[in-house]
Amino acid sequence: MDYELFENYEMKNHTTFKIGGCAKRVFFPHTTDAFIELLNTLNEPLILGGCSNTLISSSGIEDDVIITSKLNNFEFENNIIYSQCGVKVPMLSREAEHKSLSGMEFMIGFPGSVGGAVYMNASAHAQAVSDTFLSCRVFDMENKKVLELNKEEMKFGYRSSILQEKPYILVDAKFELRQGIKEEISAIMLRNLEFRKGKQPSLTLPNAGSIFRNPPNDSAGRLLEKAGVKGLRQGGAQVWMGHANFIVNDQNATSTDVSQLMNKMYNMVKDKYTIELVPEVKFVGIKSKEEDELWNMMLKK
């Protein structure tokens, strides 16, 4: 079988947050066939990509884990892109730029992979994954078979897709870009990168991107800033001074530190505005009793 297997794998090195304990078994498939075979045979494995919006438990992960980072092949046919789920999206953005194709400029600063971008219908700067999406192959974990889904069947919404509702795992996807002028595409990408520099911490300060989703017709960052969360600290985790919707791990934070800090941020906005923010970051792994209670409250379970 075309995959690598590691036991007691240190997960924190694989996340942009640099937080997380060990996973008992981690598989790295090298081909989509190997990926599908693992999905077919392992018992409810956890699928991870770039782990850019993920908080992994400091107590580790008991489930089998499949990491898709080796599934990084993509190809262009005119203005159609075929991409495996593990491709880092800035790479696709750059390749599209080189070919004077427009539609992926917004992804230039994203640290994640195609799988995560499609799963959450990633968006920024008035562009979204759903704008260029054509079709994809997913593995249905319930019925153990590969399905092909078109754009309509994906039920894309703001930061959402059918992948969040059904037990579907993205295998690969196709996108259709439009011909553009290279200089204009490059200028948009540069502007997007400059914007991110000013509004988001670089990954030299470990973080998981936006902590909470924007509520309808408002900004989570604005609400958090007005609620006074900037600079708030819990253990090794701190709300970034540059933008109130980011937590940085600047002193070897644990998953409990981040969970407690998120809960403080959540409650401060709720108390001031009676708005209950929804976490954009996903918690993965073994939850302590306290973590379970904190996340159940934020997710209203």
Query: What average pLDDT does range 161-179 have in this prediction?
Result: 98
pLDDT confidence of residue 301: 80
pLDDT confidence of residue 207: 95
Q: Which of 47, 67, 87 is the last residue of a domain?
A: 67
Indicate which CATH number applies to the domain containing 59.
Answer: 3.30.43.10
pLDDT confidence of residue 200: 86
Task: State percent of the chain over pLDDT 90.
Answer: 91
Among 210, 255, 259, 291, the one annotated catalytic: 210
Give yes or no: residues 183 and 153 share one domain. Answer: yes
Give yes or no: residues 28 and 122 share one domain. Answer: no
To the query of whether residue 25 is one of the catalytic residues in this protein, the response is no
Indicate which CATH number applies to the domain containing 284.
Answer: 3.90.78.10
* pLDDT tens per residue, range 102-129: 999 999 988 889 999 999 999 999 999 9
Does position 220 have pLDDT exceeding 80, yes or no? yes
To the query of whether residue 178 is one of the catalytic residues in this protein, the response is no
Entry pTM? 0.92
Give yes or no: residues 130 and 42 share one domain. Answer: no
Q: Which of 14, 32, 67 is the last residue of a domain?
A: 67
Domain range enclosing 278: 220-298
In a domain, 58, yes or no: yes
> What is the secondary structure of 3-63 as a DSSP string?
EEEEEEEE-GGGSTT----EEEEEEEESSHHHHHHHHHHSSSPEEESS-SSEEE-TT-B-S
| Structural domain total, the chain | 3
Query: What average pLDDT does range 28-34 have in this prediction?
Result: 98
In a domain, 210, yes or no: no
Does position 256 have pLDDT exceeding 80, yes or no? yes
To the query of whether residue 148 is one of the catalytic residues in this protein, the response is no
In a domain, 209, yes or no: no
In a domain, 204, yes or no: no
Among 25, 59, 280, 288, the one annotated catalytic: 280
In a domain, 213, yes or no: no
Give yes or no: residues 100 and 187 share one domain. Answer: yes
